[in-house]
Structure 1
Amino acid sequence: MKTIYLLCGLLCDDVVWEAQARELARDHDVRVISFLQHDSLAAMAAHVLAGAPASFALAGHSMGGRVALEVMRQAPHRVERLALLDTGYEAAVPGEVERRAVLVEQALAQGTAAIARTWGLPMLAPHRRDDPAVVQPVLDMVGRMTGAIYAAQTRALLSRPDATGVLQGVDCPTLVLCGRQDGWSPPERHERMAALLPRPPLLRLLDECGHMAMMEQPAAVLAALREWLALPAGSTTGSDDHARH
């Protein structure tokens, strides 16, 4: 039985991983972490490590993927395998502070429910934005957060370090996964991430899927995670192995 950490992204809680966590928990010790009390990636990573066993599997989505890379920066020897889903590795870019501030200020003034649709709908593939089975759980999840949580998580993202060197030093089986319609963190970024890794990762680009891959394509994400968990510790895979689901 492996210990598997599933790290949540910006304005997300354990609902985002619900479908995968439920199934993986049949065979593994699954621990889902959302970051509601920290305002730096370093503190978030330290929180993961403080409660973790000596070695574990680590998967992160969006902001959680950046936390996973920070865990790799702090304690690479403890991570048995790494999965990065709909995420990124670069530092903040010019203008990002101003763009993010608009929604943060609105959430602080009016609550996160006021920004749920503005923030949440662009995260989904276009054809998912009219599907209440996907949209409503996203809106409810955002609504459970507070403006203070959103502001703290945004501070963490804006102060993120470039993780190029971290990726270049990863020495464990790695999954890189992204929705093909992810407009927030597009497939091309994940292909660049895959190219930076010293051993070819399991690269999965999912059709009909945006940024919220685990909720939009739960079965495909679960299949990719199981494939990743089954990789032998010293294995490599073809980086051009793009699965279509």
Structure 2
Amino acid sequence: MSKPTLLLLPGLLCDATNWSAQCEALNGVADCIVPVYGELRSIEAMAEYVLELAPVGRFSLAGHSMGGRVALEVMRYAPERVERLALLDTGFQPLCPGESGTKELLARYELLELARAFGMRDMGKQWARGMVHPSRIGSAVFESILDMIARSTPDMFEGQIHALLSRPDATSLLPTIRCPTLLLCGREDLWSPLNRHEEMQRAIPGSTLEVIEMSGHMTTMEQPQAVSEALMRWLRYEATGAGSTPLDSN
């Protein structure tokens, strides 16, 4: 019997390294595919690309950070093809109006200017400090994140910034999700905080929330074993009642 397909969608300026530990840990139970967005400039275009890359039929889908927003758009376009859904350290709301949205826009473009002036890795040294648990700043994991950022280009960064600033609103989509859904968040995630995932859990019927301790935003790399174990439980879950039964977290 062939293994199910699991699409693992990386976040902003991330590549397969974002999911490398999970690909290795889950190799025995799923065929893992990690898409690369290239210079695509919208969440919608990324979702369309994922669906083109996916095999015919149903598949499981997990997205981290920006990848979670892409996963939600895949759910909007083709919910019948998604067997189960995992959303990690992500969000669902559009750019906030007014001062808050303007602040986000300016902050993102300041980082882009830094990347163009000094290079992607130097930009990452500033940006990534807020993406990990404080204890990991300067660690091997932190250096691996910087290496990953450095493999992207300012043009790719600009395209993904555009995608995030024009991100669609998935608020009305959440209550329509009926497949087994895992929500996962680092306890110290400052970019996509826990209360946002609690809000998603209340909106998605039957969803389960797992909190990863001693982790910031980059859970898949900061606490790879804990994340892989959570995904293993999610993959082994058999839906009863169209996903209305929570995942077993024991």
Asked whether the two chains share a fold, i.e. TM above 0.5, the reply is yes
Shift of 1:171: 0.8
Partner amino acid, structure 1, of 2:80: H
CA RMSD between the two structures: 1.6
**Residue in structure 2 matched with residue 29 of structure 1 by the alignment:** 31
CA distance in 2, matches of 1:35, 1:121: 24
Counterpart CA distance in 2 for 1:117 and 1:156 is: 23
After superposition, the C-alpha distances for 1:93-121 in whole angstroms (9 at most, x for unaligned) are 22221121100122123321220111112
What 5-or-longer segments of structure 2 have no aligned partner? none
Which amino acid in 2 is paired with 1:99?
Answer: A
Q: Is the 8 A contact 1:9 1:34 kept in 2?
A: no
Residue pairs, 1:48-63, within 5 angstroms: 48-53=50-55, 54-63=57-66
Q: Work out the CA distance in 1 between the residues paired with 2:228 and 2:148.
A: 21
Structure 1 residue 231 corresponds to structure 2 residue 237: yes
What count of residue pairs does the alignment treat as equivalent?
A: 240
Deviation at 1:168, TM superposition (A): 1.3
Query: In the TM superposition, what is the alpha-carbon distance from 1:164 to its structure 2 partner?
Result: 0.8
Deviations, residues 6-58 of structure 1 (Å, cap 9, x unaligned): 00000101011000011212222110113122110111000010121221000
Q: How does 1:85-96 map to 2 (within 5 A)?
A: 85-93=88-96, 94-95=101-102, 96=104
Alignment partner, residue 41 of structure 2: 39
Report the equivalent of 1:98: 106
Distance in 2 (CA, whole Å) between partners of 1:73 and 1:191 is 21
**Structure 2 letter corresponding to 1:188:** N
The residue aligned with 1:191 is 198
**Aligned twin of 1:205:** 211
Are the equivalent residues in 1 in contact too, given 2:131–2:191 (CA < 8 A)? yes
Hey, what's the Cα distance between the residues in 2 that align with 1:202 and 1:236? Answer: 10
Q: Out of 55, 71, 75, which is 2:74 matched to?
A: 71
**Residues 80 and 233 of structure 1 are in contact (CA less than 8 Å); yes or no, is this contact kept in structure 2?**
no
Other-structure match for 1:13:
15
Residue correspondence of structure 1 range 158-173 to structure 2 within 5 A: 158-173=165-180
Checking the alignment, whether the CA contact within 8 Å between 2:115 and 2:122 is kept in structure 1 is yes
- Between the aligned partners of 2:8 and 2:22, the Cα distance in structure 1 is 9
Give percent identity, aligned residues only: 47
What is the aligned partner in structure 2 of residue 180 from structure 1? 187
Q: Deviations over 1:101-145 (max 9, x none)?
A: 100122123321220111112100112214x22111011111111
Q: Does 1:214 align with 2:224?
A: no
Structure 2 residue aligned with 1:122: 130
Amino acid at match of 1:109: A
Normalised by the size of structure 2, how large is the TM-score? 0.92
Q: What SS class does the counterpart of residue 127 from structure 1 fall into? A: helix
